[in-house]
């Protein structure tokens, strides 16, 4: 099995911020604290992000709420129909309603612009580690399921073989009993 890769997708309408965050995360996450290769992609619109996401779903999604072509939360909702990325919301205009809606969608953090890059990289690192652990657990669970299915199948095959052997033994026993019965009956050739 190949080692899983962590894919991070940044969606921000400001291309300079998207590039800066991508560069920062690539540098910050290359320190070996995440036990997997990391790929960072960025998009400046919901449409571009959806194209990237459909090509390869992201493990960690950093989504701006204000996108030129669609509300960021609406985009996140669509993405959640296809995969379950860890979600971090980035916004310049946070409201309690948006924060609550973000949390309902499963966002693990909301960062207010201008945000601290160290806090951002720590939040992304933790989200990536959680996604990696979840993915590895899914692989373990799938392997256990396959193993259990194989054990059940092999047990069924063994039971069929044992049934055949028992059937053959019963048949052989009957034949032996019949031969023994033929030999133990005295011939009654003498007339009284």
CATH code, domain carrying 22: 3.40.50.2300
Position 18 in a domain: yes
Half-sphere exposure of 67 (CA within 13 A, CB side): 26
**pLDDT above 90 as % of the chain:** 53
Position 151 in a domain: no
Position 186 in a domain: no
Three-state secondary structure along 43-101?
ECCHHHHHHHHHHCCCCEEEEECECCCCEHHHHHHHHHCCCCCEEEEEECCCCHHHHHH
More confident residue, 5 or 67: 67
Position 146 in a domain: no
The 10s digit of each residue's pLDDT in 67-107 is 999 999 999 999 988 889 999 999 888 778 888 888 888 88
Domain total of the chain: 1
Position 16 in a domain: yes
Position 21 in a domain: yes
Which residues are CB-contacts of 21 (< 8 A; sequence separation ≥ 6)?
A: 10, 12, 42, 62, 117, 120
pLDDT band, residue 42 (cuts 50/70/90):
very high
Among 46-55, 168-177, 179-188, name the most confident range. Answer: 46-55
Position 17 in a domain: yes
Position 126 in a domain: yes
Which of 19, 9, 8, 11 lies closest to 66 in space, CA to CA? 11
Q: What is the DSSP string of 115-139?
A: --HHHHHHHHHHHHHHHHHHHHHHH
- Domain ranges, residue 35: 6-140
Which residues are CB-contacts of 13 (< 8 A; sequence separation ≥ 6)?
A: 44, 45, 64, 66, 67, 68
Q: What value does the mean pLDDT take over residues 124-150?
A: 91
């Amino acid at each position: 099995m190949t080692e899983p890769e962590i894919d991070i997708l940044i969606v921000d309408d400001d291309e300079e911020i998207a590039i800066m965050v991508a560069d920062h995360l690539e540098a910050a996450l290359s320190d070996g604290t995440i036990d997997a290769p990391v790929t960072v992609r960025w998009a400046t619109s919901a449409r571009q992000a959806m194209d990237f996401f459909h090509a390869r779903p992201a493990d960690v999604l950093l989504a701006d709420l204000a996108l030129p072509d669609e509300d960021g939360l609406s985009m996140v909702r669509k993405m959640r129909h296809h995969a379950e990325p860890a979600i971090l919301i980035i916004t310049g205009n946070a409201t309690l309603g948006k924060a609550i809606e973000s949390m309902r969608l499963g966002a693990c953090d909301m960062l207010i612009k201008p945000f601290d890059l160290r806090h951002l990289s720590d939040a992304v690192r933790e989200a990536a580690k959680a996604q990696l652990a979840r993915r590895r657990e899914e692989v373990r669970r799938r392997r256990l399921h396959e193993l259990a299915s194989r054990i059940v199948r092999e047990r069924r095959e063994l039971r069929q073989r044992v049934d055949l052997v028992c059937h053959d033994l019963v048949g052989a026993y009957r034949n032996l009993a019949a031969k023994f019965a033929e030999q133990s009956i005295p011939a009654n050739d003498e007339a009284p």
